[in-house]
Amino acid sequence: MAEVKKPAPKAAAPVKKGPLSGVWELFEKKGDSVVRKNKHCPKCGPGFFLAAHKDRHVCGKCGYVEYLTKK
């Protein structure tokens, strides 16, 4: 019976050490409460927020888009 060659073990991927995600930038502290900065989606209701892009606000669930006007 022929010997089966085992593949060489793979090296572990290096751990990326960079800045943490900016989740805390989406919230604002007012007194003893915490308030979200982004708007709610008008179609999906409260609990679904619009992602703030450079030129628009987009809902990730339903795809609703609000374009920002140029001033």
In a domain, 55, yes or no: yes
Strand partners for 27: 36
pTM over 0.75: no
For the cut 70, the answer to whether the pLDDT of residue 20 exceeds it is no
How many structural domains compose the chain? 1
In a domain, 21, yes or no: no
Instruction: State which residues form the domain around 46.
Output: 36-71
2/42: higher pLDDT: 42
In a domain, 28, yes or no: no
Greatest Cα pair distance in the chain: 78
In a domain, 30, yes or no: no
In a domain, 61, yes or no: yes
Contact 28, 16 (CB under 8 A): no
The DSSP secondary structure of 27-69, one letter per residue, reads EEEETTEEEESSPEETTTEEEEEEEE-SSEEEETTT--EEEPP
In a domain, 19, yes or no: no
The predicted pLDDT at position 41 comes to: 95
In a domain, 1, yes or no: no
